[in-house]
Structure 1
């Protein structure tokens, strides 16, 4: 059914009416706790968690985001530079099983069923527009300008040190929470992966793809992009479209990675049951992906190859890089070059110690290298640095009994890749993993106050009616005899 655009919000609102009102907050309040749950990151998964927790009857949930406002939040209007999303349009997103809240329903209401049928993958700008609608329609409050600077464990809850930036200035504040959900993006458990020799370049000559790059300033300039995955191609294309004089993209491999091996396990059996696989199987799947390489979509490659001033260098890792005068002089596997600016499309490294907010936590977290000892030919230090997550994507203790609070930090960022088999935080993980985390949060909050809940469940309940309503119809043998 196609819903006229002007009636769409009414249609979506009717869906919410039919599933019933949000349950009341059933969580027992504690005088020393400000929030039952703090969600770090107000992007697509942060908003979806806020809605899901609300529907689970869990109140006092706060979503924080370091971005100054909605227009700068998340990746879709900042450092995501693809024209279209990399995931199939048919995947379930943040709609929580409610079709009226899905991208498809939203798109068809505005552009018609035929328009949705015609698109191969969702446009990035349209996805950002849909997510903005989702947040506003569901009235998801997000505290922008709020940065988590330190997680301080106190027993089984946390003191959260926050830096809050407003038009009036900067405020330091400490708030308390029982649960944390890290929906903080690709570097949420690590950092941009700037590798030698790029590490020696100054910031006015180098940027990572996660940075806010002024592409307009690259007009007429010679630009190098280092990396062979999608973000590198997207950055190269954006530079070319901004008028760069030429763009050279350098790839370590002798050929571009073109086999998206993760598709082999995209069917429900593998997707639904991946977290239950033996460690050795999950490790080998992650290793297969690493060795095959992260593939750029065909349209991302075509976006740059149409430019005559685009040059692709294969089998060309950078060996030297230094500033000489006003330019960067580089030596790669296939020659020596000079550039005005360098963009590192070199991905991200998982490293909990690189996150200042995890300073009190990182040493206690169980990592894959602590849990799994692969065969010598299957070793991979980068995969070994990923946290070994529990069934509800929670941190586990490296030494049991030393950090029980870790079970209250749920990781919903790509550091969960080895444990869950998908880039956690992206669309493919939402249907399976968001409900799992919400169920565990609900269970933990309930059982931690079991005495109070047991008392509530055993409380006196007033009768709906008294005996006067039925006593005149109670069967009595004497009544039968007298009638005879």
Structure 2
């Protein structure tokens, strides 16, 4: 039954969701045999990262009866970028997408929004406000009662030849005390920079560190009031950073864009069908590379509203065909940027230059990182178009699992799964993008449940043999006397 036009309130929506789950028999009872390691509990699945992808996967696993725990380094409610380093006014995805709702209408953002504000306000809404999305994900976690442990910083992920994966954690809620967690499978739901971190050009390091920031840093916009700011890049994050600086009172913002023009069409939308969500991972390798390379070459344009948010300021300057070759500190304390069009003075630089797969920025993965097979390690890699991002992407298995570069060199690596952006070449945009996140979460959850069952096949068979709940008591019928055989009658 559709929601009425008037707001019904979250309490009523939550009652409806509970009824839906009850009708579907969700969640089922846990069925994976409990295990211990050195006297400690062994989790069925541990998820590193409590943002949208981690929550969607945790919910999918819970709905399959798999015991799951999520670990996130952020304080509760601040997982992911939405309430911290993201600076867009609204999400870029259409508001109608169901996102991480896992096929449950009462779990969608629309249901959450209409329950509080009504149908008329939903119809008037253009795009989802960023901070409302953060509030929705907080509600999502609470209403599904997901087991998320905050302020848990991962120090090491160690696959084992025999036995479960080891997670070494520092509990920042109590002074950084360390502990060891064991899990049969570990999933890295670590976001856009999941296997690396922010990237800046080499010339950035010629500048004093306090005079520049990356768009992924938590920089103080108010401190830019009255200052000249240079923004390096022309993508969505560049528009968000430039607008944030302008709205904070920056005296001038110069956007320095390498390309001669901004791309106009988001080509990735042209491959956003249900078929792509379910079939990209089945494509031959050359087609996977061709799709992702084309998107990389064409690039994704910044959103229309994000660009207008910058251009409406008279003190915003767009410079195209203007790469920066070098930078230095002038004698008067200003920064000098030497560009293809000449020098430019600035007081602060914001790099909106994206992320790179860079294992050196993720020491917690050092125990297995050198053994991970990348696409550049494939025999046919030389036949593909040159694309550094794709070459450095992990070559993942069907369940997003890492594979060994040298077979046998890192036993247990297949129990560590990459459910974050670097999975895109192997599996498409199902590990972090709002349009396909439910598809990816359910596929991975079903695969993990299946693998857990197969690994314990002997235990499940023994449990079946020992199953003794009676269907019949033996008194449901009375045995009949068998009639005497009458030869004449035949």
TM-score class normalised by the smaller sequence:
over 0.9
Q: Map residues 163-202 of structure 1 onto 2, 5 A cutoff.
A: 163-166=170-173, 168-202=174-208
Q: Is the 8 A contact 2:277 2:436 kept in 1?
A: no
Deviation at 1:400, TM superposition (A): 2.4
Deviations 1:261-287 (A, max 9, x none): 112212223332111111111111111
Counterpart for residue 453 of structure 2: 446
Give the structure-1-normalised TM-score.
0.93
Counterpart for residue 307 of structure 1: 313
Q: Whole-Å Cα distance in 2 between the matches of residues 258 and 394 of structure 1?
A: 36
Deviations 1:220-267 (A, max 9, x none): 111111011101110100111111111111111010122211122122
Deviation at 1:353, TM superposition (A): 4.0
Distance 1:469 1:424, change over 3 A: closer
Partner SS for 2:210: coil
Q: Whole-Å Cα distance in 1 between the matches of residues 159 and 275 of structure 2?
A: 38
Runs of 4+ in 1 over 6 A off after TM superposition: none
Q: Verify: 1:2 aligned to 2:3, yes or no.
A: yes
Counterpart for residue 423 of structure 2: 416
Q: Is the 8 A contact 2:45 2:183 kept in 1?
A: yes
Q: Verify: 1:371 aligned to 2:372, yes or no.
A: no
Give the structure-2-normalised TM-score.
0.92
Q: Verify: 1:27 aligned to 2:16, yes or no.
A: no
Which of these residues, 420, 423, 434, is aligned with residue 427 of structure 1?
A: 434
Deviations 1:385-434 (A, max 9, x none): 00011112111121223334122111111101211232731212312211
Q: Whole-Å Cα distance in 2 between the matches of residues 405 and 97 of structure 1?
A: 33
Q: Is the 8 A contact 2:212 2:349 kept in 1?
A: yes
Partner SS for 2:202: coil
Counterpart for residue 131 of structure 2: 125
Q: Whole-Å Cα distance in 1 between the matches of residues 370 and 52 of structure 2?
A: 29
Q: Is the 8 A contact 1:280 1:374 kept in 2?
A: no
Q: Is the 8 A contact 1:92 1:430 kept in 2?
A: no
Partner SS for 2:101: coil
Deviations 1:31-73 (A, max 9, x none): 20532211111111211222211111112x2211111x12432
Gaps of 5+ in 2: none
Counterpart for residue 345 of structure 1: 352
Counterpart for residue 160 of structure 1: 167
Distance 1:271 1:158, change over 3 A: closer
Q: Is the 8 A contact 1:189 1:355 kept in 2?
A: yes
Deviation at 1:307, TM superposition (A): 0.2
Partner SS for 1:25: coil
Counterpart for residue 52 of structure 1: 60
Deviation at 1:107, TM superposition (A): 1.3
Counterpart for residue 285 of structure 1: 291
Counterpart for residue 46 of structure 2: 38
The number of aligned residues is: 476
Deviation at 1:29, TM superposition (A): 1.8
Q: Is the 8 A contact 2:53 2:431 kept in 1?
A: no
Counterpart for residue 401 of structure 1: 408
Q: Whole-Å Cα distance in 2 between the matches of residues 327 and 479 of structure 1?
A: 114
Deviation at 1:165, TM superposition (A): 0.8
Deviation at 1:199, TM superposition (A): 2.8
